[in-house]
């Protein structure tokens, strides 16, 4: 049984891959070498009769997947045999979009299955699939190249598994993908710039091992929810929120190593209801424009190195309910902050509040002036100089096709996620946050529940 060997397999997309007998990958030097020979291809027993050829291909995909599963404690895949793949637990079928007379596999939902295994190349045979939800399992390895065949994939939820390796760039080429949830895995390295040019609706990358600057074009992303928390993103909060004003609803950057001032165009984020940049190394003042974030309900800037006076308009925002700004170096706050449903101002340099830093500590810190320009955060907006730096290594993905009215189901509700069940580390303890104590509350550290999830007990 092969378990999470490097999945550098080449996927022969053009062939109807019902039998893959040998898997070969190009070695870095250009020569081809045999990674391994698979001597047990999925064979279709001659007595099985399928409704149509797509279900036959789905059979191959699901059998190949089942074979990778080394543990299935709830027996979810116990009935994964035979030709009636639409009756398999967790498999959803519906009429094909291009031919309503044909039934095909349109979704897979193995949420909370606790299954250990990996994703085989053959999953690329599920070319009609719109939803893949495998949150809270023990799948490892990375996304096989076969996934690039899934041209109707709309929602991909791989959260709370043991996937590792670089950001799976092939997802950027999936033309219909709107909802990408990779949180609670072990992805590492940098994010490609093309990710923020893609027409996604929700992007969850929290609690991985990403280490890099946040690409400067973050503000081009049309997402409504962006969660990058609990990684090791460093450097600047991107300076331009560009196109996000009409679309962004929640942005969570907490618990990283971000080190810069706040972008001054923060006030453009008029639809944002939740902004959390706590547990970083942000400095300088809250920009005046923050008072223009008219839909803001929850603001968390605690555990940074912010200073100055909190803008008057902020605590007068009519929707603001909760404002945490403890463990910074603020020297003044409008009285209106005390009228909020919840505010926390501890450990600042506020004369009129209790539990503040010592005069000496405040004096020492505030004696060093903050120079926001010294962080050299470059704007991306063409109206601002200087021009953006040239794109980095990653080639940009093909432009997503213009979206048409979709027959596909809407993104799952994210309103009341269940408690987190963090994935245990495989090889080493998870990275520690920059400060000594861990955040008390983690609004983002939760695994969403899809209302259509089967109970593992069923």
Ligand X SMILES: *[C@@H]1O[C@H](CO)[C@@H](O)[C@H](O)[C@H]1NC(C)=O
The overall longest dimension of the chain from CA atoms, in Å, is: 83
Kindly give, in sequence order, each residue whose CB lies less than 8 Å from that of residue 47, ignoring residues fewer than 6 positions away: none
Which of 128, 265, 285, 302 binds ligand X (CB under 6 A)? It is 302
> Which residue, 101 or 436, has its beta carbon nearer to ligand X?
436
Output phi, psi for 219, to 5 deg: -65, -5
Rounded to whole angstroms, the Cα distance separating 324 from 439 reads: 12
Which of 212, 264, 346, 435 binds ligand X (CB under 6 A)? It is 346
Rounded to whole angstroms, the Cα distance separating 227 from 276 reads: 9
With binding defined as CB under 6 A, does residue 305 bind ligand X?
Answer: no
With binding defined as CB under 6 A, does residue 81 bind ligand X?
Answer: no
> Which residue, 186 or 302, has its beta carbon nearer to ligand X?
302
Least distance in Å: CB of 393 to ligand X? 33
Binding residue count for ligand X, defined by CB under 6 A? 12
Least distance in Å: CB of 343 to ligand X? 9
> Which residue, 72 or 450, has its beta carbon nearer to ligand X?
72
Residues 277-296 binding ligand X (CB under 6 A) are 295
With binding defined as CB under 6 A, does residue 378 bind ligand X?
Answer: no
Residues 312-331 binding ligand X (CB under 6 A) are 326-327
> Which residue, 128 or 333, has its beta carbon nearer to ligand X?
333
Residues 229-268 binding ligand X (CB under 6 A) are 246-247
Residues 60-79 binding ligand X (CB under 6 A) are 74-75
> Which residue, 137 or 194, has its beta carbon nearer to ligand X?
137
Q: Which residues bind ligand X (CB under 6 A)?
A: 74-75, 246-247, 270-271, 295, 302, 326-327, 344, 346
């Amino acid at each position: 049984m092969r378990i999470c060997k490097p999945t550098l397999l080449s996927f022969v997309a053009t062939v109807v891959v019902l039998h893959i007998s040998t898997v070969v990958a190009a070695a870095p030097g250009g020569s081809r070498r045999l990674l391994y020979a698979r001597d047990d291809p999925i064979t279709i027993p001659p007595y099985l009769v399928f409704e149509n050829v797509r279900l036959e291909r789905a059979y191959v995909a699901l059998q190949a997947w089942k074979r990778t599963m080394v543990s299935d404690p709830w027996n979810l895949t116990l009935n994964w045999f035979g030709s009636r793949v639409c009756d398999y637990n967790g498999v959803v079928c519906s009429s094909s979009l291009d031919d309503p007379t044909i039934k095909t596999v349109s979704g897979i939902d193995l949420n909370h299955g606790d299954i250990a295994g990996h994703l085989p190349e053959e999953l690329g045979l599920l070319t009609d699939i719109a939803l893949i939800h495998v949150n809270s399992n023990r799948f490892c390895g990375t996304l096989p190249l076969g996934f690039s065949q899934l041209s109707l994939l709309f929602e991909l939820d791989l959260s709370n598994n043991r996937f590792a390796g670089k950001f799976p760039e092939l997802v950027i080429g999936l033309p219909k993908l709107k909802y990408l949830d990779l949180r609670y895995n072990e992805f590492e390295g940098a994010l490609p710039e093309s990710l923020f040019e893609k027409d996604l609706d929700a992007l969850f990358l929290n609690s991985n091992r990403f280490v890099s600057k946040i690409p400067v074009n973050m503000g081009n992303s049309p997402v409504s929810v962006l969660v990058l928390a609990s990684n090791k993103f460093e450097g600047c909060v991107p300076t331009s929120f560009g196109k996000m004003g009409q679309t962004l609803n929640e942005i969570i950057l907490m618990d990283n190593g971000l080190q810069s001032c706040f972008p001054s165009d923060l006030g453009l984020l008029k639809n944002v209801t939740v902004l959390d940049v706590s547990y970083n190394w942000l400095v300088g003042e809250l920009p005046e424009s923050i008072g223009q974030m008219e839909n803001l309900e929850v603001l968390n800037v605690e555990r940074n190195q912010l200073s100055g006076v909190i803008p008057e308009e902020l605590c007068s925002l009519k929707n603001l309910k909760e404002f945490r700004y403890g463990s910074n170096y603020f020297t003044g706050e409008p009285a209106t902050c005390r009228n909020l449903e919840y505010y926390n101002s501890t450990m600042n340099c506020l004369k009129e509040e209790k539990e503040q830093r010592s005069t000496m500590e405040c004096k020492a810190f505030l004696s060093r002036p903050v120079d926001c320009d010294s962080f050299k955060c470059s704007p991306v907006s063409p109206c601002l100089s200087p021009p953006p730096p040239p794109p980095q290594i990653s080639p940009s993905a093909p432009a997503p096709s213009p979206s048409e009215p979709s027959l596909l189901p809407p993104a799952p509700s994210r309103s009341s996620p269940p408690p987190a069940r963090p994935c245990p580390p495989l090889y080493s303890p998870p990275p520690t946050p920059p400060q000594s104590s861990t955040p008390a509350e983690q609004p983002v550290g939760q695994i969403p529940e899809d209302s259509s999830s089967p109970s593992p007990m069923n």
